[in-house]
Chain A
Amino acid sequence: MNKRLLRLLTPVIVLCGLCAAQDISSFEKRITVKKLDNGLTVLICERPEAPVFAFYTHVDAGSVQDPMGQTGLAHMFEHMAFKGTDKIGTKDYPAEKAALEKVEKAYSAYLYERDKRVGRDEAKIKRLEAEWHAAADAANQYVVPGEFAEIIERNGGEGMNAGTSDDETSYHYSMPENRLQLWAYLESERFLHPVMREFYKERNVVIEERRMRTDSRPIGRLVEQFIAASFSAHPYHRPTVGYMGDLNSFSATDAQKFFDEYYIPSNMVVAVVGDVKAATAMPVIEKYFGRIPSHEKPEEAPTAEPPQNSERTVILHERAQPVYLEGYHRPDYLAKDDAVYDAIADLMSEGRTSRLYRTLVRDKKIASVAAGFTGFPGVKYPHLFAFFAFPLPGHTPQEIADSIHSEIDRLKKEDISDDELKMIKTRAKANLLRGLADNEGLASQLGQSQARYGDWRELFRNVERIDAVTKADIRRVANQIFVPTNRTVGIIDNAAVVAKGGQ
């Protein structure tokens, strides 16, 4: 009896030895979660270390939800969420609203003519384009530029930003604690009454973002091609920032429609961490966020990626130095082996004891960097476990591929060592701990866990799951997914360009 009890307790004791002060039960005392009547989830974590707080708004919609022909729309809306509301950023909303409607009419007339397959009238396109621009200028006279961001900045907002991924969209910044009510007003208004003002100018800003991140960077170009090759059916094959053609086509009306469909309370989690008291803050947050109207979640069933059944390779002939990338399909983050993938990524990549550093960088001296990682390009749907390396001058992507594959073979054939397993588990605990030290990090991690699993405690349980990973699990999973017919390879190769005498 006693023995059994001891056995039951052992893993828990090991874990607590490391994080005595910071386990689930210590957070239970500081965290309050409430699902509002409209379906929006609020999480408050009290951390009164300094008179500030951070928040993280998580919206369960990302570029996977971009409609066909409108790639980049989720990201575009994220930009528009900084443009103000019917009260912020306008001199006269009724007049502005009417003017914005005219912009949409003019744009739609222009687009109709521009995209005609036959019988296009170039002069008419020019005229319609001019009319659209004129309508936009007319609407602009009602704009108080940048007022939404200005209010945040003037009130001491710090680290104001947002991000869109394939899976989700997030908004975050920090503020002095005495601005909690102001923040609750601003953040809820943004999702109550967003206004698509200055839409087409902001679309140009987003197009510049695409040029910067994707078109003008060799790695950006590689990743876009690699992802497109890896996924043939699931929306993961499309870039989050959007294709140039779509960016030059979608409208403010499209963005508003996207918002109406996906920015519903049941898709949203708001996490607040810092010098706040749940007892007084929750009613304030509820008062403001409770106003957001709800409706049914949209039907959602993106095409499942079929088995790859083939090895795929994309090669970019660039003048940039070589890069090697390969990926293998794996199941989504809710799969029972999720922690095993985390363990493999850690084993292969974390620090100077990692297998890829030791073989490719230290011993064979063929790469300057080599690592494996999971969660690419997202986690919500089946995705990729990937490896990449930068070959050293004089070494080829093929040498890299061979070395990575022989490391993978080792993973399949031999158990990892006791020390390696211990390192993986200790690091998981220590990394969790190190991530708990600031409001921003806590807000994003707690918010994300609450959103993805419906329970913030999963942040801690994930470490327990890694703690339960066995040597046999690692071999089993490696044998399952690291096979050539499940592999896509992406290479930047400069051999041809250098041989031709290109710079």
Chain B
Amino acid sequence: MKRILTTALLISLCVSLAGAQAPWQQIPIPELHKFQPQQPKRVQLPNGMVIFLQEDHELPLVDAVARIRGGSRSETAAKVGLVDLYGEVWRTGGTKIQSGDELDDYLEVRAAKVETDGNADSTTISLSCLKADFDDVFKVFNDLLRTPEFRADKLDIAQKEYFDNISRRNDDAAGIAGREAAKLAYGASNPYVRQAEYATVAAVTPQDLIDWHKQYVVPNNIVFGIVGDFNSAEMEAKLRQAFASWPKGTAAKKPEIQFTSAKPGYYVINKEDVNQSSIRMVALGTTRDNPDYYALEVFNEAFGGGFSSRLFRDIRSAKGLAYSVGGGVGTTFDHPGVVRLSMGTKSTSTIEAIQALFADIDRLSKDPISEDELKRAKDSILNSFVFNFDSPDKVLRERMAYEYYGYPADFLERYRVGIEKVTPADVARVAAKYLHKDQLAVLVVGNTAEFDKPLASLGTVSNVDITIPPPPGGPEAPPTK
């Protein structure tokens, strides 16, 4: 009786609280200051090169980057690692007239940077310098772009570093989990996730780097962006002068790539020197030009995004099972992303945590993302929307990405509109379409002897072998693990 009374009292109290506005709700939120982010100027040269110019006069600095089509997804399986090595040796090798070491000295006295990098679908060369040094530094940039010299001794250093990297890749449990989960999602031999080995790295020769450069670094493969303290008209003239006479080459083709997810089920990697299991649940995601993208963004925010998401609240705050937990249906511009749910929990609560996460997935159909959760997720995305373009260089980077992947220039605005339109039914529909407990590959990297129950109590378990294949031989053979 007394308990009933208390409950009744509580309910009435809640109602009265809900009626009155909480103190933070009484704080006025004025209209946001009018803000029209400055768009970069787009120029396309007759040779196909696309240039974006974005003035920013706050600091006396200039930053630029050229993004070049062609990346590691296009390298051959026998030479995995080629583009990584290229990305390093391009810069450390230097130019025909200055060695990489000479470039280091030349740039560092100016506190300037010219750097190169290799990625899955592109390579990049960037510069950063004080405005006053721009002409000097741009000359280095352009020499490196047009007349690099892939010196053999620098390839040797880069390969040694790569060997070191390979030898260390099984030291860190979270690193193993991230890598192996991506392989489960895409298939181990998929070009986005396949691994460089001692043999494939050792197989790369200076000629491979020269050939790569010749094949891909042509103006019609390049999107170039520059931001900083300059006058656009003058800068445009300078860039035209530098790039206009560069003849067109063969445009890079996007390779045909197969995505073959591993069979759903349980995968385990035993690691005895940890007391926390790294857990990843993966499947194939989708692309950003999918009409479901906006609903997925809202779903991800509500389910596994921030501090207020279901996963964070349940697994971390309510159950105290994990420090890091989250995830969602991943999307990328031009190939399927990865559905990825991640968490780390003590060895002795491994099975409990997996089941708790499964319960949250199950709950999605029984107790779908509510109107209020939806509102919260949309508020969060839309009210922080301004942070997508609150600096000239962010605006530039967005525009360059859309150009690179053939997305409309106003994609960000379409995104805002798309998010606003998402309904609870949309979210329920995409949740049901993209996230299925029984279609996930569940990977656990942990100390299996300490698990609360054997992983096999949940289903069929496959062992993932992460033994590092030994190098082809030689006296300096690195130790294997």
Known contacts A149-B308, A156-B384, A157-B384; decide if A436 and B59 are in contact (CB<8 Å): yes
* A234 contacts the other chain (CB 8 A): no
Is there contact, CB below 8 Å, between A202 and B380? no
* Other-chain residue from B32, B58, B92, B275 in contact with A437 (beta carbon distance below 8 A): B58
CA distance A292 to B346 in the complex (A): 39
* B240 contacts the other chain (CB 8 A): no
Is there contact, CB below 8 Å, between B157 and A365? yes
Which single residue of chain A is at the shortest CB-CB distance from B301? Answer: A153
Supplied contacts A208-B320, A212-B344, A390-B164, 7 more A-B pairs, CB within 8 Å? A146-B308, A153-B376, A160-B306, A205-B316, A352-B92, A392-B160, A437-B59
Interface size on B, residues (CB 8 A): 85
Find chain B residues with CB under 8 A from A394 CB. 476-479
Is there contact, CB below 8 Å, between A433 and B59? yes
CA distance A146 to B373 in the complex (A): 13
CA distance A150 to B377 in the complex (A): 10
* Other-chain residue from B34, B320, B376 in contact with A204 (beta carbon distance below 8 A): B320
Is there contact, CB below 8 Å, between B313 and A146? yes
* Other-chain residue from A51, A160, A182, A206 in contact with B24 (beta carbon distance below 8 A): A182
Known contacts A353-B108, A393-B478, A393-B479; decide if A154 and B383 are in contact (CB<8 Å): yes
Find chain B residues with CB under 8 A from A154 CB. 308, 376, 379-380, 383
What are 15 A-B contacts defined by CB distance under 8 Å? A22-B59, A50-B386, A152-B307, A177-B33, A202-B317, A208-B321, A218-B171, A319-B481, A353-B105, A392-B478, A426-B110, A427-B108, A430-B112, A433-B59, A498-B481
Is there contact, CB below 8 Å, between B324 and A212? yes
| CB neighbors of A among B232-283 (8 A) | 273-276
Is there contact, CB below 8 Å, between B108 and A321? no
Find chain A residues with CB under 8 A from B477 CB. 393-394
Interface size on A, residues (CB 8 A): 87
Is there contact, CB below 8 Å, between B308 and A431? no
* A78 contacts the other chain (CB 8 A): no
| CB neighbors of A among B23-63 (8 A) | 23-24, 27-35, 37, 58-61
Within the complex, what minimum Cβ distance (angstroms) separates A256 from chain B?
19
CB < 8 Å A-B pair total: 244
Find chain A residues with CB under 8 A from B168 CB. 320-321, 390
Which single residue of chain B is at the shortest CB-CB distance from A20? Answer: B60
* A3 contacts the other chain (CB 8 A): no
Is there contact, CB below 8 Å, between B13 and A216? no
Find chain B residues with CB under 8 A from A437 CB. 58-59, 61, 391
* A226 contacts the other chain (CB 8 A): no
Is there contact, CB below 8 Å, between A177 and B160? no
* B104 contacts the other chain (CB 8 A): yes
* A233 contacts the other chain (CB 8 A): no
- Contact mask B386-405 → A, CB, 8 Å, 1/0? 11011100000000000000
Known contacts A19-B60, A50-B35, A368-B164; decide if A208 and B476 are in contact (CB<8 Å): no
Q: Which 5 A-B pairs have the closest CB atoms?
A: A393-B478, A156-B383, A204-B320, A430-B111, A149-B307
Is there contact, CB below 8 Å, between A433 and B60? yes
Is there contact, CB below 8 Å, between B92 and A21? no
Which residues of B come within 8 Å of A, CB atoms?
A: 10, 13-14, 17, 22-24, 27-35, 37, 58-61, 92, 100-101, 104-105, 108-112, 128, 130, 132, 156-157, 160-161, 163-165, 167-168, 171-174, 273-276, 306-308, 312-313, 316-324, 344-346, 376, 379-380, 382-387, 389-391, 476-479, 481
Known contacts A20-B60, A51-B386; decide if A211 and B344 are in contact (CB<8 Å): yes
Find chain A residues with CB under 8 A from B92 CB. 352
Find chain A residues with CB under 8 A from B312 CB. 146
Find chain A residues with CB under 8 A from B385 CB. 156
Is there contact, CB below 8 Å, between B390 and A50? yes
Which single residue of chain B is at the shortest CB-CB distance from A154? Answer: B379
Is there contact, CB below 8 Å, between A208 and B319? no
CA distance A400 to B73 in the complex (A): 36
Which residues of A come within 8 Å of B, CB atoms?
A: 17-22, 49-52, 82, 87-88, 91-92, 145-146, 149-158, 160, 174, 176-179, 181-182, 185-186, 198, 200-209, 211-212, 215-218, 275, 318-321, 350-353, 361-362, 365, 368, 390, 392-394, 419, 422-423, 426-427, 429-431, 433-434, 436-438, 494, 498, 503
Is there contact, CB below 8 Å, between B276 and A422? no
* Other-chain residue from A146, A319, A351, A433 in contact with B108 (beta carbon distance below 8 A): A351
Find chain A residues with CB under 8 A from B171 CB. 218, 320-321
CA distance A212 to B274 in the complex (A): 9
Is there contact, CB below 8 Å, between B167 and A321? yes
Within the complex, what minimum Cβ distance (angstroms) separates A355 from chain B?
12
Find chain B residues with CB under 8 A from A176 CB. 32, 383-384, 386
Within the complex, what minimum Cβ distance (angstroms) separates B411 from chain A?
19
* Other-chain residue from B60, B100, B167 in contact with A393 (beta carbon distance below 8 A): B167
Known contacts A176-B383, A216-B276; decide if A426 and B29 are in contact (CB<8 Å): no
Find chain A residues with CB under 8 A from B29 CB. 155, 178-179, 182
CA distance A186 to B323 in the complex (A): 24
Known contacts A49-B58, A185-B23; decide if A208 and B346 are in contact (CB<8 Å): yes
Find chain B residues with CB under 8 A from A209 CB. 323
Is there contact, CB below 8 Å, between A153 and B32? no
Is there contact, CB below 8 Å, between A498 and B323? no
Find chain A residues with CB under 8 A from B476 CB. 393-394
Name, among A202, A209, A216, A362, the residue most crowded by chain B CB atoms within 10 Å (CB to CB).
A216
Which single residue of chain A is at the shortest CB-CB distance from B384? Answer: A156
